[in-house]
Amino acid sequence: MHIDLSGRTALVTGSTQGIGAAIATGLARSGAHVAVNGRSRSSVEAAADKLRGEVDGARVTSVAADLSTEEGAARVVDLLPEVDILVNNLGIFGARPALEITDEEWRRYFEVNVLAAVRLTRAYLPGMTARSWGRVQYIASDSAVVTPAEMIHYGVSKTALLAVSRGFAKEAAGTGVTVNSVIAGPTHTGGVEDFVYELVDRELPWEEAQREFMRRHRPQSLLQRLIEPEEIANMVVYLSSPYASATTGGALRVDGGYVDAILP
């Protein structure tokens, strides 16, 4: 399948590393003009330079802004007034005993993981519908469906994204714009490596630590390994393409069979 996104502009939030960087790379390889986002100008510039080095002829724009704030979102929209593909990837996670999660932490997870995506959707969806073409995606998680006991605040924020996605898909009904969420399973990123070592013996070599983590904390996985970021990106690139024109309002799983359900 050849996916050609030439002439399309894509904004991938939180794309200086991990899943976001893999998505930005996948979209650039398909010809999209990609805006890389992060809070730090230095990290954004480094990620943009890396992307240009990996993809010949890549068109890349650096957008440094903290999207958990109204000011940050406004800055992005000023720098990038029109977007054809919006990938709301920005998110934070971390382990915390349920009864120790403070009000401040609950608010922070909602601001970063949910409201940042809502703000940008509100900003860019009208332009997409006016042009009769657009793609909005939210990177959710298996934790949206299988709430993890060790980080329920994260799980709740990802559950909210599924509802946000479905609701905005209804708002875009009949316009040529599709809105979907992607349920990502346990994925191999630098941040996840740190998280794994919070839960298993830090003295274990990485491959052994990964197997122990999956065995003890994610035994439902049918892959029985962490997913690579590029595997998540493949789904996002497909959903960004004309081939996915009839897929909207959905929650599509790239979870390695983690969620034990027949339907999404």
First to last CA, the chain: 24
Q: Which helix (H) or strand (E) holds 71?
A: helix 70-79
- Give yes or no: 154 in active site: yes
The candidate with the shortest Cα–Cα distance to 8, out of 85, 60, 77, 63, is: 85
How far apart (Å, rounded) are the C-alpha atoms in residues 26 and 34? 10
3-state secondary structure 138-155: EEEEHHHCCCCCCCHHHH
Q: Give me the catalytic one of 109, 138, 154, 258.
A: 154
Instruction: Give the contacts of 12 (CB within 8 A, at least 6 positions apart).
Output: 20, 23, 24, 27, 34, 35, 36, 37, 87, 89
How far apart (Å, rounded) are the C-alpha atoms in residues 121 and 129? 12
What is the C-alpha R_g of the chain? 18
Do the beta carbons of residue 122 and residue 77 sit within 8 Å? no
List residues with catalytic annotation: 154
